[in-house]
């Protein structure tokens, strides 16, 4: 199962004002409470992706576009071809090939990897800096001049690329001083910098390598080889992510909204023999709308 964008330990550590001990009910067993809170985090993750019209965790995507005249293909005056991907931000082009559109079956010709690149790579994640707050990058892939020219017969271009932010969880405990992390998904992690979110402290981690369990795979479980040892011990299930802080904050707010919707106490509740007093604040709809507004700059538009 893919890692949610927030986890119960992150919720408990965040200043939400929610009494999470009431979810699902006051006095529930710790295992039951953890399972319900984990399900909440997964539902909220799906809601974040719905709002943004795409997954925000790193994925491998293959698009087929048609040029030189197409809605998602444009030949620039210098001959460079701009290809608009269906997901963003594009972080790495894995491969591409081209075929005449009229060919049945297609007659693919490989395009060398050095002929393609992202138009605007992520500034922070792949430069050794920790994740920032805002949306960055582009959905555009650049193809070198010569592959398409105005007036050409229609050509299909198939391009496979990495998009969005690396995001994973530990599949085994990691001791302080470790320089390798066992994770459930290595997608996009080679060369990326993210954060290990412990209950009491965080570590900024840079993955020099991302080695899959199954040789040749670019995604799925594997090992991250770090540039420097971690300074804290982290248990299995710890979130390791390059998602912008804004996305994680919006996910926390959506968790709060759903918790309020089911009647969780937002603050301490005082009970007397004849009355119950509860503090008031923003409604669950207000909080959900604010979270959606925070995510507006991360929405996919093609």
Give the per-residue pLDDT at 18.
87
pLDDT in tens, the chain (302 residues): 589 999 999 998 898 988 888 888 888 898 999 999 999 999 999 999 999 999 999 999 999 999 998 889 999 999 999 999 999 999 999 999 999 999 999 999 999 999 999 999 887 888 766 666 668 889 999 999 999 999 889 999 999 999 999 999 999 999 999 999 999 999 999 999 999 999 788 999 999 999 999 999 999 999 999 999 999 999 999 999 999 999 999 999 999 999 988 765 554 333 334 433 444 568 899 999 999 999 999 999 76
Dist CA 241 CA 45 (whole Å): 14
Give Cβ neighbours of residue 221 (< 8 Å, ≥ 6 apart): 171, 182, 183, 184, 185, 186, 212, 213
DSSP-derived 3-state class of residue 155:
strand
CA angle 146, 152, 158 (to 5 degrees): 70
User: Encoding tokens for residue 5?
Assistant: 């964008």
DSSP-derived 3-state class of residue 90:
strand
Return the closest-CA partner of residue 20 out of 31, 32, 33, 29: 33
CB 158 within 8 A of CB 100: no
- Alpha carbons within 13 A on the beta-carbon side of 104: 1
Give the per-residue pLDDT at 274.
40
Taken in order 124, 10, 247, 141, is the CA torsion positive or negative? positive
Residue 81's beta-bridge partner residues?
75, 143
Task: Break the chain into its structural domains and give their ranges.
Answer: 1-56+243-302, 59-163, 167-235
Give the per-residue pLDDT at 21.
82
Greatest extent of the chain over all pairs of C-alpha atoms, in Å: 84
């Amino acid at each position: 199962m893919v890692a949610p964008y927030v986890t119960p330990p992150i919720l408990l550590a965040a200043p939400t004002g929610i009494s999470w001990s009431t979810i699902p009910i006051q006095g529930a067993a710790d295992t039951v409470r953890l399972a319900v809170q984990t399900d909440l985090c997964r539902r909220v993750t799906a809601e974040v992706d719905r709002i943004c019209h795409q997954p925000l965790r790193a994925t491998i995507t293959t698009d087929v576009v048609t040029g030189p005249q197409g809605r998602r293909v444009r030949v620039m005056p210098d001959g460079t071809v701009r290809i608009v991907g269906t997901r963003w931000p594009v972080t790495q082009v894995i491969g591409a090939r081209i075929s005449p559109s009229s060919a049945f079956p297609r007659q693919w010709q490989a395009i060398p990897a050095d002929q393609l690149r992202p138009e605007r790579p992520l500034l922070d994640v792949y430069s050794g800096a920790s994740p920032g707050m805002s949306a960055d990058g582009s959905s555009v892939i650049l193809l070198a001049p010569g592959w398409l020219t105005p007036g050409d017969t229609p050509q299909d271009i198939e391009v496979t690329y990495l998009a969005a932010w690396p995001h994973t969880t530990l599949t085994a405990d990691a001791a302080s001083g470790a320089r390798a992390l066992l994770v459930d998904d290595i997608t996009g992690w080679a060369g990326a910098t993210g954060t290990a979110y412990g209950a009491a402290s965080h570590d900024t981690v840079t993955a020099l390598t991302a080695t899959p369990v199954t040789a040749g795979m670019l995604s799925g479980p594997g090992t991250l080889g770090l540039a420097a040892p971690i300074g804290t011990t982290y248990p299995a299930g710890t979130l390791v992510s390059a998602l912008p802080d804004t996305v994680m904050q919006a996910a926390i707010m959506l968790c709060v909204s759903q918790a309020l919707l089911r009647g969780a106490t937002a603050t301490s509740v005082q009970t007397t023999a004849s009355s119950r007093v509860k503090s008031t604040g923003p409604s669950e709809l207000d909080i959900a709308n604010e979270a959606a507004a925070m995510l507006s700059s991360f929405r996919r538009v093609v």
